[in-house]
Homo-oligomer: A and B are copies of this chain.
């Protein structure tokens, strides 16, 4: 195996271990020792790949964003170019919900980073803001595709509505994590959100 690939595989093993440690005991339980033990490698090897705890925390945060982004892109490619703005945004939002173990792990890790950034632990807030800004832009781009014919009152404001949609979806996702509501209810809330912003779905709007 080429050295670069090996390097990436090893980094991935470590960031995956960080995620599991966070899910098991919170960000405060993350140390070189606990991550090495979880990954089944030596502390020295973790230190070789990541010189500081901050480095592997940043890499873990980045890995969650990369995974979520790749999953979004896969889901969108399955939709195809004919998908309506509503179908695209629904796909975005449902992929963000913690509906399976993988997404639940991601949501817990992101929530832990969010809480820690506010209280001086973990990584700084600046480094966690890029992803929401990209998502708002993606959603706003879809909302701009909605024609005047489809728009409900009040008139569409793509940037503001995209902010609202992302904030609401984040609230729905985080609210689901402690067991407040089922997966079905979370999906229903996402549908309701889009009913409220884009108008109720009708058979003619998806073509």
Q: Does A111 count as interface, using CB distance less than 8 angstroms?
A: yes
Report yes or no: B178 in contact with A129, Cβ–Cβ below 8 A: yes
Contact A129:B180 (CB < 8 A) given known A28-B121, A153-B199: yes
**Smallest CB–CB gap between A135 and chain B, Å?**
11
Size of A's binding interface in residues, CB under 8 A: 55
Contacts of A178 in B (CB 8 A): 114, 117-118, 125, 128-129
Q: How many copies of this chain are found per oligomer?
A: 2
Residue of chain B at shortest CB distance from A169: B171
Contacts of A153 in B (CB 8 A): 152, 199-200
Report yes or no: B170 in contact with A121, Cβ–Cβ below 8 A: no
Q: Does A163 count as interface, using CB distance less than 8 angstroms?
A: yes
Contacts of A163 in B (CB 8 A): 181, 185, 189
| A:152-167 near B, CB below 8 Å | 152-154, 157, 160-161, 163-164, 166-167
Q: Does A14 count as interface, using CB distance less than 8 angstroms?
A: no
A32 to B27, CA, bound (A): 21
Residue of chain B at shortest CB distance from A155: B200
| A:117-157 near B, CB below 8 Å | 117-121, 125, 128-129, 132, 152-154, 157
A153 to B196, CA, bound (A): 8
Most chain B CB atoms below 10 A, which of A115, A189, A200: A115
Q: Does A58 count as interface, using CB distance less than 8 angstroms?
A: no
Given contacts A114-B174, A125-B180, A164-B168, 7 further A-B contacts (CB under 8 A): A23-B118, A24-B120, A108-B115, A112-B115, A167-B172, A167-B189, A171-B172
